[in-house]
Amino acid sequence: MDESLLDSVRSGDRRALSRAITLVEQGQHSPGLPDPSAVIGVTGPPGAGKSTLISALIDTIRSRGETVAVLAVDPSSPISGGALLGDRIRMQGHVDDEGVYVRSMATRGHLGGLAESARDAVSLLSMGGFDRVLVETVGVGQSEVEVMGLAEVVVLVVGPSWGDQVQAEKAGIVEIADVFVVNKGDRPGVSEVQRALRDASEGRDVGVLVTTATTGDGVAALLDEIDRLLA
């Protein structure tokens, strides 16, 4: 990758950043990319509200005067092979905010919940000078543990109907999560899922928080917990 392009990324040029990420998606790699730092991974089953929660986290981060970049790893389109862009669509409310950068990336069949070029893309986002970098994986399960090698803090987001599945997913949850979040906290079943998650953690120091992403309830507390873990 051309060093002048990387210099533009370092200077905060968003077009250069987009171009550089496209190049790493196409298989180009630069040995000068830094290791990703202070990366927050967000994973969870479909329907848990991950994207809505990330949008609420963006609001909270921006209210604290910080900038944020999001890499949303989407399933690949069976036609074009590109990202389906579902997560980016949900975050359209931030499109005019220069302190927010959202990029969708297709898995292109890569297992592990992340695109093969995700690490380089996150390195470029870190190089771009963002205060926070969030990575949203495709889903959750034994194939999603790859996010552990990329993120310093992994947030597992589940919904209030997920209690019956906690024990079935127990091993994966214990390995993946630094923070458990029961989203859609205004719906029935939240306390049961909280209890099941605490039991599944088997004494580990893992917070079990409740959020309602659509209203912002609990999101500031989640960001505080992430900061505690990053400290």
Q: Which CATH architecture has domain 36-230?
A: 3-Layer(aba) Sandwich (3.40)
User: What mean pLDDT do residues 189-200 have?
Assistant: 88
Determine the 3-state secondary structure of 155 from DSSP: strand
Hey, CA dihedral for 128, 131, 133, 134, is it positive or negative?
negative
Q: What is the residue whose two structure tokens read 């987001």?
A: 157
Write the DSSP assignment of 4-21 as a string of letters.
HHHHHHHTT-HHHHHHHH
**Cα gap 104→137, rounded to integer Å:** 11
Mean predicted confidence (pLDDT) in 187-205? 85
To 5 degrees, how large is the angle CA 210–CA 215–CA 220?
55
pLDDT at residue 148 is higher than 70 = no
Contact 1, 23 (CB under 8 A): yes
Ordered by start, the domain boundaries in the chain are 36-230
**Span of 47-56, 60-69, 101-110, 120-129 with lowest mean pLDDT:** 101-110
Q: Which of 212, 217, 182, 227 is nearest to 200 (CA)?
A: 182
Phi and psi at residue 19, to the nearest 5°: -65, -40
Name the nearest CA neighbour of 75 among 138, 131, 148, 11.
Answer: 138
**Chain-wide mean pLDDT for the chain?**
81
Tell whether the model's pLDDT for residue 209 goes beyond 50. yes
Q: What are 82's two structure tokens?
A: 């590109």
For 87-145, how does the pLDDT look when each residue is reduced to its tens digit (9 = 90+)? 445 566 677 789 999 988 865 444 444 455 788 899 999 999 999 999 988 665 544 56
Report yes or no: 44 and 140 within 8 Å, Cβ to Cβ.
yes
Dihedral-angle region of residue 216 (phi above 0 means left; psi in -120 to 50 means alpha; beta otherwise):
left
